[in-house]
Amino acid sequence: MPARKAKNRVRAVKTPRRTSQKKPARRRTARQPLVGFIGAGNMARSLAGGLLKNGWARNRLILADPDSAQRSAVEKVLKLKTYATNNDVAARADILVLAVKPQVLRAAALELTQAVQRRRPLVISVAAGVRLADLERWLGGGLPVVRVMPNTAALIGSGAAGLYANPRVAPEQRNQAESILRSVGVTVWLADESLLDVVTAVSGSGPAYFFRVMEALERAAIAGGLDAATARLLTLETAFGAAKMALEGGEEPAVLRARVTSPGGTTEQALGVLESGGIETLFHQAVRAATRRARELAEMFGKGA
């Protein structure tokens, strides 16, 4: 009898009803635009490499270059798909990065006109000195175009770039252009295209100014008796440390300079020599000269149909 009761109790247990709750829908990740590079030189490889490091899918990056050696380097190092003809990339790309020398940009753009007019991609030009009006004319007009002035430090992921967009560039496309350039450094949007000439003179040519200062300081150290290796190490580490302090501290360079300049000390004596030699005047003259030359080159590159 006890066994039967136990059996009945087991039968009395009800199976829980299955709820009709739906499983949460899978969130679809946005499909990355296909970025195509015209040119597979140093700047294109740096940008593509930066995008890969920042999570861009390898199958969403393609490059074109007629030089087989350049294509082989991309395929070997970055493992990316390359093409020998520019139109093969232009016909596929959602974002087309023109990474060729300014002297050949006109010819490259004219070759791409039909493909880009069909595809209507966002066009990003990193060719120094070529104005948007000229580039738009060569491409047939009506396209969203962003002009960029990068610098050589982009090759090591520490670049500084100025950007200017024409009115056809949508907010999402501005973000896309910025994300591409931010993969190799910092970006600054400009309200006036003419300011890109000043950017060219400051950050575009700027690395050479600092290299020249380092070169002079290194030679002065050797003249003072230090061996070449020690002079170079101290010069480079000092330059790096000063830049890092200025970037990370958030204080004006003038404040940092004053902090390390004790009255009557060695730094004050050295700065006095530089000031008497007109260091600030020379830098103003240098930036004006580079800006003027940038405008002259833009006029030269823009000639023709």
Q: What angle do CA 188, 193, 199 make, to 5 degrees?
A: 50
According to the model, what pLDDT value does residue 303 have? 81
Give whole-number Cα distances, 137 to 143, 274, 278, 303, in Å. 10, 47, 44, 11
DSSP H helices, the chain, are 2-12, 42-53, 68-77, 86-90, 102-119, 132-139, 171-182, 195-199, 206-223, 228-249, 253-259, 266-276, 279-301
According to the model, what pLDDT value does residue 50 have? 96
According to the model, what pLDDT value does residue 137 have? 97
Closest C-alpha among 155, 154, 134 to residue 145: 134
According to the model, what pLDDT value does residue 201 have? 98
**142 in a labelled binding site:** no
List average pLDDT for each run of 10 residues in the chain, which is 305 residues long: 45 45 53 96 96 96 97 96 98 98 96 98 96 97 98 95 98 97 97 97 97 98 99 98 94 96 97 98 98 96 76
The contacts of residue 187 (CB under 8 Å, 6+ apart) are: 161, 162, 163, 178, 181
According to the model, what pLDDT value does residue 31 have? 84
According to the model, what pLDDT value does residue 16 have? 46
- Domains of the chain (ranges; CATH) run 35-193 (3.40.50.720), 206-298 (1.10.3730.10)
**Residue pointed to by tokens 């030699």:** 277
Rounded Cα–Cα distance for residues 235 and 242 (Å):
11
**99 in a labelled binding site:** yes
**101 in a labelled binding site:** yes
**54 in a labelled binding site:** no
**42 in a labelled binding site:** yes
**43 in a labelled binding site:** yes
**86 in a labelled binding site:** yes
According to the model, what pLDDT value does residue 304 have? 61
**102 in a labelled binding site:** yes
The contacts of residue 25 (CB under 8 Å, 6+ apart) are: none
Q: How deeply is 214 buried, as exposed, middle or buried, from its count of CB atoms within 10 A (0-12, 13-18, 19+)?
A: middle
According to the model, what pLDDT value does residue 29 have? 56
**62 in a labelled binding site:** no
